Amino acid sequence: MVSLPGSARSSHLLQSFFKEQLRQPAPQSVVRRLLRRTSQSLTPLVSLLNTRIMALDERACDETSALALPSVAAPHIVCFSPYAMWRLHSTWEFTILRALAMRGAKISLILCDSISASCDLYWQEKTVPWDRCVVCQARTTQQARFLRTPFQWISRYIDQAESARIHHWAASLRDDELRHARFDGQPLGDWVLGSVHTHFRLSRLELNEPQLKVYRNYLEGAAMTFTGMRAAIEQLQPDSLFLFNGRMSLPRSAIEAARLQNVRTVCHERGAVRNSISLWENERCSQYLQRREATRACNGVALIMPQFRMARHWLSDRRRGKNLNWRPFMKQQRNSAATLARAGIITGEPLNLVLTSSDDEFVAEPDRNRIFSEQYLWLRAILDWSQAHPEQKVVIRFHPNTSSESWSFLQNQIPELREESDNRPTGSEVNYRVIPPSSPLDTYAFMDAATTVLTYGTTGGVEAAALGKTVILADDCWYYGLPFVQSATSPEHFLTLLDAAPRANVTPDPTISQRAFRFIWDYNLSQNISSSLVHQQSLHEAVPHYRTDESSSLAYGKDAGMDRITDIILHHRPMYEIRPPVNTEVEAEEFRQVQKFLNRFVRIEH
């Protein structure tokens, strides 16, 4: 018998093993074991390769050529990025910073290092991992290194005495003081309210024990941010503060620190279509006054055909849940007549459609809920009106993004909503139908059939106006007061508008549709800025679409979108640009295209 060397013997045994396995069906346990062993063998190799690649990235980032050296007179841009683990936003952010540096600006990036025990990155988490801040800082550091962006931690601007003072302040607040807490004379209780609402996905906070703890944590983090950014701005003397969102607690605190020192702010957020970004000057992303006024100034000017087509495609994409920059809320679409029948609606009869809003993200804004103090009061008024007008059909379609917590709250406030009536048969006694957030029934079937649409600020109101519908708006939202909607000024005025609404199916109004199309372009699409330098992969992930080890593709003139962004930040270009007047031929063509669009929706398809 010939003795084999060790390696040959191992190979021979392995071959024998696989031959034996091939003679009989391999049980799943064997397959799983082989896959697990393969994975265990490859993991160290992949980890080693990743470490080597990142080491090269880090060395390249530390080279002086990573960013251009600014002149003494160069504009100084400070960026505060506490949520850089959201790589969709940080990829945009750090790419923009490198492009600004290529244009001669001085850049200072400030990141968060564990200054808040509750965080907007962990909404609704039942169990927050103990090492969440460690993981966040590691991934954030990796992202900054990969995109060649030097940074500082915000804690360098908060000394130990200040940190201890803030911790003592937050711990000593009584529970009944949290909502209106003030720190150094500033209303931090207001600044963090939006984050607490969204943390729990609630329209109203009852401030029970879990909420009180989270509220206190957000207050401490806001105080840390305000103190650190106030010191950073005093020391760095920036021309502008560039940051994400501005609505959430930490960016909001940074904005307020900049405002107190008269420093201009530029906020960024995802745009209205996939792979785009929008900017706000001296406003949070949840504010809209400047953009709405710029839109109002353009609403009397006709769209040229490329603009009209883009607005039409945006409407079509929303119906199909395509090309969105957020998760689609489209449910399974059905035949329109079947959808109406399932909801107990007879095809062709007059219909009042109610479209609610998912309001936990804006309920804390002081300029919202000014007509009705809460959305449920608006719903209560509509239900009372429907009971007084039994001849009127009402469908209440709840926004699909309404959280289960908010839905439970609304059902407790309005018992009628407990009857989830999307399956109620035709001929039932009540004249209203409730379509719950989770219902698969197609919202657009109801919208196409509706005579009048009542909204609380949802985007569906704009879409309904584009169909030439009468739209009655009950909240001071982003399209309040514009000529394609009827805007209520009080609860009584809302009911007056509802009483005067059309009571029979009418031909869509092309003038309403025309104004809505212009608004869609001016407010949403013209403010979207796309760039070939950033590629969105998923809801929260984006990757650079350029070589990060060299910066030539970021130079001015290489990408129109990046040039527009940097021009706005550097104050070389206005944030909102007014469309110039057009001739009568353009106006006539726009009107023809509106009528052609409306002809598709005169009848409900069977």
Q: What is the spatial distance between Cα 366 and Cα 153, in angstroms, rounded to a whole number?
A: 32
Sketch the domain layout of the chain as residue ranges: 74-294+529-569, 302-527
Q: Diameter of the chain by CA atoms?
A: 103
- Percent of the chain having pLDDT more than 70? 84
590 near 599, Cβ under 8 Å? no
**CATH code, residues 74-294+529-569:** 3.40.50
Q: How confident is the model at residue 342 (pLDDT cuts 50, 70, 90)?
A: confident
The SS3 of residue 247 is coil
Q: What is the DSSP letter of 490?
A: S
- What's the confidence (pLDDT) of residue 156? 96
Those residues with Cβ within 8 angstroms of residue 225's Cβ, 6 or more apart along the chain or in another chain: 80, 82, 112, 115, 116, 154, 249, 250, 253, 254, 257
> Is the confidence at residue 482, as pLDDT, over 70?
yes
> pLDDT at residue 71 above 80?
no
- Of the two residues 374 and 425, the one the predictor is more confident about is 374
Strands (E), 451-605: 452-455, 470-473, 486-487, 529-530, 534-536, 542-544
Task: Please tell me the distance from the alpha carbon of residue 475 to that of residue 457, in angstroms, as a whole number.
Answer: 6
Q: Are 395 and 353 in contact (CB under 8 A)?
A: yes
Q: How far is CA 198 from CA 112, 136, 232, 247, 360, in A?
A: 20, 20, 28, 11, 5
Instruction: Please report which helix (H) or strand (E) contains residue 225, including its range.
Output: helix 209-236
Torsion of CA 566, 570, 573, 576, to 10 degrees: 80
Strand-pairing partners, residue 264, are 240
Q: Which two tokens stand for residue 602?
A: 């005169």
Which tens digits make up the pLDDT trace of 503-547?
A: 887 889 999 999 999 999 999 999 999 999 999 999 899 999 999
More confident residue, 11 or 530: 530
Compute the CA torsion angle 38, 41, 42, 48 (nearest 10 deg). Answer: 170
Per-residue pLDDT tens digits for 262-321: 999 999 999 999 999 999 999 999 999 999 999 999 999 999 999 999 999 999 999 988
What is the model's pLDDT at position 422?
Answer: 46
The CATH code for residues 302-527 is: 3.40.50.2000
Percent of the chain predicted with pLDDT > 90 = 69
Same fold, 74-294+529-569 and 302-527: yes
Strands 76-81 and 240-244: parallel
Q: Residues 6 or more apart from 334 whose CB is under 8 A from it?
A: 342, 440, 441, 442, 445
Give the separation between CA 169 and CA 254, rounded to whole angstroms: 19
Least confident of 221-235, 315-329, 364-378, 535-549: 315-329
Residue 63 has pLDDT above 50, yes or no: no
Determine which of 28-37, 251-260, 446-455, 548-557 has the lowest per-residue pLDDT on average. Answer: 28-37
- In this structure, of 1-5, 443-447, 546-550, the range with the lowest mean pLDDT score is 1-5
Distance between CA atoms of 227 and 215, rounded to whole angstroms? 18
Q: Convert the pLDDT of each residue in 137-173 to its tens digit.
A: 999 999 999 999 999 999 999 999 999 999 999 999 9
Of 47, 18, 45, 49, the C-alpha closest to 34 is 18
Tell me the two tokens of residue 599. Answer: 């002809």
Instruction: List the one residue out of 172, 195, 171, 184 whose CA is nearest residue 229.
Output: 184
Question: Using CA atoms, how far apart are residues 408 and 69, in angstroms rounded to an integer?
Answer: 56
Mean pLDDT of the chain: 87
Write the pLDDT tens digit of every residue in 541-557: 999 999 999 889 999 99
- Decide: 467 and 444 in contact? Cβ < 8 Å: no
pLDDT of residue 600: 82
